[in-house]
Structure 1
Amino acid sequence: MAERLTVVVVDDHSIFRSGLRADLDESIDVVGEADDVESAIAVVTTRRPDVVLLDVHLPGGSSAGTSGGAEVLQRLASAMPGTRFLALSVSDSAEDVVGVIRAGARGYITKGSSGSDVSRAVHAVADGDAVFSPRLAGFVLDAFGAAVGETAATDEELDRLSAREQEVMRLIARGYAYKEVASTLFISIKTVETHVSSVLRKLQLSSRHELTAWATARKLL
């Protein structure tokens, strides 16, 4: 039997958490729950799940102008590269979607999704894919400047990168840890770090989360 994916569910409504837990398929093991920012950080840090299902609007946030879900991402996503974050919310506003993607979420689906849809999304995010409810993907594409007519611009940006840098870029954007990239490409971790620094500089990006959003918007994953 394949090993089950571990998941932490973060939402401030206990009835919703219970219902979601019951609806997820048997390949998913819910190993923890939380109902506000601080409890989310505590349980995710302790349990280190494969995926966190994260409500966007959580109580307990301390950053002015930042949603509770985005604060959890800002405090955890870069520190826990082995854990992927999937936003799950009743909100379908562009501001909420783009905010949590910029903060490090790998996808965003609405609470109207079925248990089977959420389960598929969890597996996809765990595999390194970016997942969005159909009408929400357009917000991300618009926010990161990926219109249909930008193929030439994308090609020009990619031409700045060497073939090896493009390989590293795609793996990092999919959520691979430096050690995993090194193993996959048979290079040292130090070389991976050098390539990542070069990629971010050439593309004028500041973090791996911005790189993921950049690559996702250009359909490079």
Structure 2
Amino acid sequence: MTRVVIVDDQTLIRQGIRGLLEVADIDVVGEAADGRAALAVIERTAPDVILLDLRMPRFDGIWTIEQLRAAEIDIPVLVLTTFDDDALVLGALRAGARGYLLKDVTLGQLTRAIHTLAEGGTLIAPSITDRMLRAIRSGPSPVGADAPAVPGLTEREQEVLRLVAHGYSNREIAGVLFLAEGTVKNHVSTILTKLGARDRTNAVLRALHDGILD
């Protein structure tokens, strides 16, 4: 059973999400009302996925993601928020979030997103993807202005990267391309190195910005 921690400053929202997820056989192992409290809960419970609101008093969502990264806690973060502002979306993804959904999603969409992230994939709400891509293409490189030029990806690496961009996990990519899962992991590692990216989401953002993916 997939284990999650819910981080949201509104008690009623946390309770509502908990109730829905438990009906869907997802184990809610902890809750927190802000980022600082979340860090303690996450360290204690070691969930598979973190459901995180962005707008919270004192220690907000992006602060929380940055702290997790600084502590080298590699648990996928699924942002679940009412805000679809471009700056917030990009800020969360650049900080290290692996998924971004709005709170108007259905229970089925939410549970699929949780399982996708738990299996190593990424997911962004389709309703905000077009605006996000326009912002990426018109703004600075997601990995910084001083990033080195991108070496060419092989045809196989491009195939893997396209599937990563669609949210496929390593296991699913292996099935699609008829490869061993370990081989896919090696391809993903090489792609991250070539793109100068710290994680899968950042690699996709860099590839979109540089025209490697369309």
TM-score scaled by length of structure 1:
0.69
- For residues 89 and 14 of structure 1, the distance between their equivalents in structure 2, rounded to whole angstroms, comes to 14
Select the residue among 82, 85, 91 that pairs with 2:83.
91
- For residues 204 and 28 of structure 2, the distance between their equivalents in structure 1, rounded to whole angstroms, comes to 26
Change (3 A) 1:72 1:43: same
CA RMSD of aligned residues (A): 3.5
Deviation at 1:212, TM superposition (A): 4.0
Change (3 A) 1:170 1:48: farther
Report the counterpart of residue 6 of structure 1 in structure 2: 3
Residues 170 and 215, structure 1, Cα contact 8 Å, conserved in 2: no
Residues 53 and 88, structure 1, Cα contact 8 Å, conserved in 2: yes
TM-score scaled by length of structure 2:
0.71
Which ranges of structure 2 fall in alignment gaps of 5 or more residues? 139-148, 171-179
1:143-180 CA distance string (max 9 Å, x none): 3329xxxxxxxxxx98713468668878998787xxxx
Report the counterpart of residue 56 of structure 1 in structure 2: 54
Q: Secondary structure at the match of 1:112?
A: coil
Q: How many residues align?
A: 188
Report the counterpart of residue 42 of structure 2 in structure 1: 44
Residues 192 and 198, structure 2, Cα contact 8 Å, conserved in 1: no
Deviation at 1:71, TM superposition (A): 0.9
1:54-89 CA distance string (max 9 Å, x none): 00112223xxxxxx11111111146122x1110011
Deviation at 1:133, TM superposition (A): 2.4
Residue type at the aligned position of 1:95: A
Q: Secondary structure at the match of 1:102?
A: helix
Residue type at the aligned position of 1:99: G
Report the counterpart of residue 207 of structure 1 in structure 2: 198
Identical columns (%) = 34
Report the counterpart of residue 107 of structure 2 in structure 1: 115
Which ranges of structure 1 fall in alignment gaps of 5 or more residues? 62-67, 147-156, 177-181
Q: Secondary structure at the match of 1:144?
A: helix
Residue type at the aligned position of 1:21: R
